[in-house]
Amino acid sequence: MSNDFSSLVHWILFLPLVAAAFSALFLRRAGAFAAWFSTATAFTIAGLSLQLLLQSTGDVTWHVELAKLGEISLGFGYLIDANARLMLFVVSFVAAWIHLFSVGYMQDDAARGRFFAGLSIFMFSILGIVVADNLLMTFIFWELVGFSSYMLIAHYFDKDFAAAASKKAFITNRIGDLGFILGIALCLHLYGTLDFVALKAAAGPAVPVAVGALLMCGFLGKSAQFPLHVWLTDAMAGPTPVSALIHAATMVAAGVYFMARVSFLLAPEVLSWMAISGAGMAALAGLCALAQTDIKKSLAYSTLAHLGIMGCALGLGHPELAVLHMAMHAFFKATLFLGAGSVIHGCHHEQDMLKMGGLLKKMPLTAATFIAATLSNCAVPFFAGWYSKDAIIEAAWHGHHHAVFAFLAIAALATCLYSGRMIRLVFLGEANSEAAEHAHESPWTMTLPITVLGLVFAVGAGFAAHYLIPASSLQVVDAALTSLHFSFTAPSTIIGLLALVFGFGGALKFYGTTRGADALQVVSPRAYALLERRWMDGLYRWWIDGPQRRIAEFIAFLDLLLINGVAVRWIAGGATAALGHLTGRTFHRGQTRGYALWIVIGSLLLAWYLLAR
């Protein structure tokens, strides 16, 4: 049986690569054909993944050694366990519908061919992370996902901010990857293997903190956790389907998936950091979402918050809950982003929420799916999001992690607040601009995906998971699903209902009070400014423009001066030439800094001489 399914996995993994190569080489001009070709490929992969999910039992494995460097074996293989099956299906299913959406959304774009080739490469990369059976292979596809993200964010490359955003995303991810590769080297050093199954066997109960901490760096970069979260909001510069697919549903969740896979390598200190940092991020990002007027940026902060919740679940020691939330989140967040895309498309590329309004009547289908997904976001009982989010809050309460529980409660409230705000500003009330006045519903290629994802999955995925999928395929989440039941006295339910009533309802009312301007900004501009300011970004900016640039220029200056200038002249013309150059050209360049440098060097030499005597 294992063999049959491994060939299925070959198809799933390599079909998008072939599609990407074909698109890149031959279809760059034939935009429409490339679009439908890519979409067909994506649906095929989704079908194959569904087949894998429903039919395979037990783990599917396959392995081949690519090469040997010295004594190190570089392997390529698959390990399809319960987590992987679920993730494969979620990723490919959501991606397929997003491909369909892009057909409509990118209709007027001249570079469609490049876009769909990029989506195919991304599919290849993310599926690679899901199926990988060893750390190095995961790292390979990790980097490839980073590259796909770079390429797709820079789709509108003639805009400066898109180019800058893509660069930022790639470099921030690479900083995470730095920690990741160090963790891989450490694993190889301590355990002599990089294979997940072998590592699990070799790693005892006491894994050094460094292993988990370093591997976590990759997670911090990819899933935009503190302190590497700064790239996600800028990544909204890419086309909306890219934001939906990559920066909401799949790539950012890859980090969570990986951490769940290597959860046996995470020491308790690492887990507590993840729990607190995740919960804190969830609360903070949720609040910051209130200060964004761009609909995509607001959703980006919402994604940051949910990633924080996933990180928190991992940190609480429940990787299965994190994986479950990742799956549910993929459905409703993709719907939200696609709905936002539909709204943006309908309002002729207007992204400012303050200029929207009254779209409930103009775009009823979009509005219905958006609201359904929002309710799932807010964890309304029995919607998809409720299953996972409430389970996590329950886990925090039962584990007596009080700080984490408090942060999660704030996060729940914030979620309802910004969701209510979004619904109020975009769909209810009166149109606030010409564009909103003349909004119209989007074509079927765009509304069908959001209907499927939104009304069907964002609402019913929890049900489906519980009742329709065979337990053995989903054993990872089965425990969570069977134990969760609706009870009025459970703390999570109390928090949830309070948040819904006061948060959601309150926001609906509050944000209707001002037209064309943000109510919070009107009432308390200082609070608004505080939430809007991007602290970490400022810090990174300062470092790059200040010390890093100065140090680089200083080192270049030193190299040129000392090694090139003095040393070479010495060799070329002997001591006299060197001295002549020194006194003539090097010393007297008229720059005070140079003089200061020579004073310092001279005094250091003098001090050394005096002290060494």
Residue type, 105: Y
If the CB atoms of residues 534 and 589 are measured against another protein, the closer one turns out to be: 589
CB of 573 to another protein, least distance (A): 11
- Scanning residues 123 to 152, which ones bind another protein (CB under 8 A)? 136, 139-141, 143-144, 147, 150-151
Q: Is 25 in the site for another protein (CB under 8 A)?
A: no
CA 332 to chain centre: 15
CB of 162 to another protein, least distance (A): 8
Query: Which residues, at least 6 apart from 43, have a Cβ–Cβ distance to it below 8 Å?
Result: 96, 99, 100
Pick one of 4, 269, 545, 559: the residue that binds another protein (CB under 8 A): 559
Buried b (16+ CB within 10 A) or exposed e, 54-89: eebeebbbbeeeeeeeeeeeebbbbbbbbbbbbbbb
Pick one of 509, 515, 589, 602: the residue that binds another protein (CB under 8 A): 589
CB of 546 to another protein, least distance (A): 10
Pick one of 69, 610, 611, 612: the residue that binds another protein (CB under 8 A): 69
Are 121 and 144 in contact by the 8 Å Cβ rule? The answer is yes
CB of 552 to another protein, least distance (A): 4
- Total residues contacting another protein by CB under 8 A comes to 66
If the CB atoms of residues 157 and 486 are measured against another protein, the closer one turns out to be: 157
Applying CB under 8 A, the span of 78-86, 101-109, 468-476, 544-552 interacting with another protein comes to: 544-552
Alpha-carbon gap, residue 455 to 446, rounded angstroms: 14
DSSP code string of 217-273: HHHHHHTT-TTS-HHHHHGGGS-HHHHHIIIIISHHHHHHHHHHHTGGG--HHHHHH
Are 350 and 435 in contact by the 8 Å Cβ rule? The answer is yes
If the CB atoms of residues 124 and 511 are measured against another protein, the closer one turns out to be: 124
Using the Cα atoms of residue 301, residue 306, residue 309 and residue 313 in order, give the sign of their dihedral.
negative
Backbone angles phi, psi at 79, to 5 degrees: -135, 95
Q: Is 30 in the site for another protein (CB under 8 A)?
A: no
Pick one of 40, 50, 163, 455: the residue that binds another protein (CB under 8 A): 163
If the CB atoms of residues 567 and 575 are measured against another protein, the closer one turns out to be: 567
- Scanning residues 392 to 451, which ones bind another protein (CB under 8 A)? none
Are 338 and 366 in contact by the 8 Å Cβ rule? The answer is no
Query: Which residues, at least 6 apart from 159, have a Cβ–Cβ distance to it below 8 Å?
Result: 237
Return the ∠ at Cα 260 (arms to 255 and 266), rounded to 5°. Answer: 100
Applying CB under 8 A, the span of 156-164, 414-422, 438-446, 468-476 interacting with another protein comes to: 156-164
Q: Is 555 in the site for another protein (CB under 8 A)?
A: yes
Residue 109 has a CB neighbour count (10 Å cut-off) of 16
With 0-12 CB in 10 A as exposed, 13-18 as middle and 19+ as buried, what is 331?
A: buried
If the CB atoms of residues 430 and 559 are measured against another protein, the closer one turns out to be: 559
Applying CB under 8 A, the span of 69-77, 231-239, 260-268, 526-534 interacting with another protein comes to: 69-77
Alpha-carbon gap, residue 450 to 94, rounded angstroms: 10
Residue type, 448: L
| Binding pattern for the stretch 209-248 against another protein, x by CB under 8 A and - elsewhere | -x--------------------------------------
Q: Is 160 in the site for another protein (CB under 8 A)?
A: yes
Q: Is 72 in the site for another protein (CB under 8 A)?
A: yes
If the CB atoms of residues 225 and 388 are measured against another protein, the closer one turns out to be: 225
Applying CB under 8 A, the span of 228-236, 243-251, 500-508, 558-566 interacting with another protein comes to: 558-566
CB of 67 to another protein, least distance (A): 4
Q: Which of 455, 457, 458 is nearest to 378 (CA)?
A: 458
Tell me the sheet residues that pair with 285.
none
Alpha-carbon gap, residue 72 to 404, rounded angstroms: 42
Residue type, 162: A
Q: Is 198 in the site for another protein (CB under 8 A)?
A: no
Q: Retrieve residue 107's tokens.
A: 């209709």
Alpha-carbon gap, residue 358 to 35, rounded angstroms: 32
Pick one of 3, 488, 592, 609: the residue that binds another protein (CB under 8 A): 592
Q: Is 501 in the site for another protein (CB under 8 A)?
A: no
If the CB atoms of residues 444 and 587 are measured against another protein, the closer one turns out to be: 587
CB of 120 to another protein, least distance (A): 14
Pick one of 50, 59, 81, 167: the residue that binds another protein (CB under 8 A): 167
Pick one of 30, 54, 556, 575: the residue that binds another protein (CB under 8 A): 556
Q: Is 181 in the site for another protein (CB under 8 A)?
A: yes
With 0-12 CB in 10 A as exposed, 13-18 as middle and 19+ as buried, what is 351?
A: middle
If the CB atoms of residues 38 and 442 are measured against another protein, the closer one turns out to be: 38
Secondary structure of 459-496 as H, E, C letters: HHHHHHHHHHCCCCCCHHHHHHHHHCCCCCCCHHHHHH
Among all chains, which residue has been given the structure tokens 């992204």? 351
Q: Is 513 in the site for another protein (CB under 8 A)?
A: no
Q: Is 588 in the site for another protein (CB under 8 A)?
A: yes
If the CB atoms of residues 501 and 568 are measured against another protein, the closer one turns out to be: 568
Are 80 and 9 in contact by the 8 Å Cβ rule? The answer is yes
If the CB atoms of residues 167 and 466 are measured against another protein, the closer one turns out to be: 167
Q: Is 582 in the site for another protein (CB under 8 A)?
A: no
If the CB atoms of residues 486 and 542 are measured against another protein, the closer one turns out to be: 542
Pick one of 596, 605, 606, 607: the residue that binds another protein (CB under 8 A): 596
CB of 482 to another protein, least distance (A): 40
Alpha-carbon gap, residue 449 to 455, rounded angstroms: 10
Pick one of 550, 605, 607, 608: the residue that binds another protein (CB under 8 A): 550
Return the ∠ at Cα 8 (arms to 6 and 14), rounded to 5°. Answer: 100
Applying CB under 8 A, the span of 239-247, 317-325, 454-462, 588-596 interacting with another protein comes to: 588-596
Tell me which residues touch another protein (CB under 8 A). 66-72, 74, 136, 139-141, 143-144, 147, 150-151, 154, 157-160, 162-164, 166-167, 170-171, 174-175, 177-178, 181-182, 184-186, 188-189, 210, 548-556, 559, 563-564, 567-568, 571-572, 588-593, 596-597, 600
